[in-house]
Amino acid sequence: MHPLFSTRSTWPTYVLSWTALSIVPALVMGAGPAFGHQVLALLGTWGLALLSLPTYYLCRALPLDSRRLQRVLGIQATVTLLGASFFWLEFVVGARLLAVWPAWSQLPESVSARGLELFGVGIVLSLLALASHYLLLSVEARAWAAERETALLLARQRAELGALRAQVHPHFLFNSLNTVSALIGYDPARAREACVELGSYLRQTLGAGQRPFVSLQAEWDLAETYLGVEALRLGERLQIDRHLEPAALECQVPSLLLQPLIENAITHGVSRASEPSPLSVRAERRGERLLIDIENARVEGAVARRSGGVGLANVRARLAAHYGAEASLTALPTAERFVAHLELPAVRAAEAQP
């Protein structure tokens, strides 16, 4: 479809532009019946406007490529001369037809006297039509390039997010298999139970990994399954302190967001403690922001976690990919506690990105 017919506004704009240009040939014809000159100029200009429509496809087939510029310019020069000839012929035929009115009987003489000037106006208008079509093609090319760049950027972002989500699984499996291995040595029954819990967790992660966003409630349910696996190994040492506001649980978060943070808290905090060590998880909504804190005790003598660890780096990268500067993960270590503080936009399911 011709771009002039793509929207309702482009075609009227095209007609109005050529209507304004009809003033030029009307002035060229000079003295005489002014209204007759204007009518003849309108008919001639509109005719050239209609004839110029197919040149859009010619311009698209003949881009201004430096390798064949001479050939393209030769063809376009021929088209320009043909357009100017048609424009002049319109005035000759139109003047004879309109001369049936006595008041406009002098129109053929006016056209004959200004024939060369009208031919020149036809050349200028034909060149203007060609230039307009090349400009239109340039705008279309820029829009297409921008659309393609956006699509490629989105595809790359999705690939990066997929890779980041995939990075969570091997790390989790390594720790979970260590849990099962530890249980086999002294409690085979609990080891089998851990295998069942682990299978349940993996089935849930397969579904969650296919969706970019899930509700915080669904994300926490998945985390609870993981904590159930770890509880079989850690026993009473793992104590969970939950403070999750209902308004926060309705918000959407990137899938598998909490897993690396909770796993870090277990690996570097709870599992190293000889006594019961509470794992505190808090979530609240403050206006348009969702705040999540995952806190655990720091064990004396244990290797301190680095703020640039794999789990934290993974979460930061995913937040940046989804939200840019609108979300953050901050590590807040103290002498006794370690807090991973998440802050991101509070978005409900109906407002979340597909």
Give the pLDDT of residue 170: 63
Q: Is 259 helix (H, G, I), strand (E, B) or coil?
A: helix
Q: What's the CA gap between 161 and 212, in Å, rounded?
A: 8
- How many angstroms separate the CA atoms of 36 and 98, rounded? 8
* Residue 252: per-residue pLDDT: 93
- Residue 189: CB atoms within 10 A of its CB come to 9
User: pTM, whole model, 2 decimals?
Assistant: 0.53
Q: Quick one: fold of 187-351?
A: Heat Shock Protein 90 (3.30.565)
Q: Domains of the chain: which residue ranges?
A: 3-148, 187-351
- Buried b / exposed e across 75-91, counting CB within 10 Å, b at 16+? ebeebbeebbebbbebb
Give the pLDDT of residue 168. 52
Distant-in-sequence, close-in-space partners of 138: CB < 8 Å, separation ≥ 6: none
Residue 354, pLDDT > 60, answer no
Q: What is the mean pLDDT of residues 299-311?
A: 53
Burial of 46 (0-12, 13-18, 19+ CB in 10 A): middle
Residues above pLDDT 70, as percent of the chain: 86
Average pLDDT over residues 24-51: 86
CA–CA gap between residue 207 and residue 222 (Å, rounded): 11
* Beta carbons within 10 angstroms of residue 301's beta carbon: 5
Highest mean pLDDT among 42-46, 224-228, 255-259, 346-350: 42-46
Q: What angle do CA 184, 187, 189 make, to 5 degrees?
A: 95
Q: pLDDT grade, residue 271 (50/70/90)?
A: confident
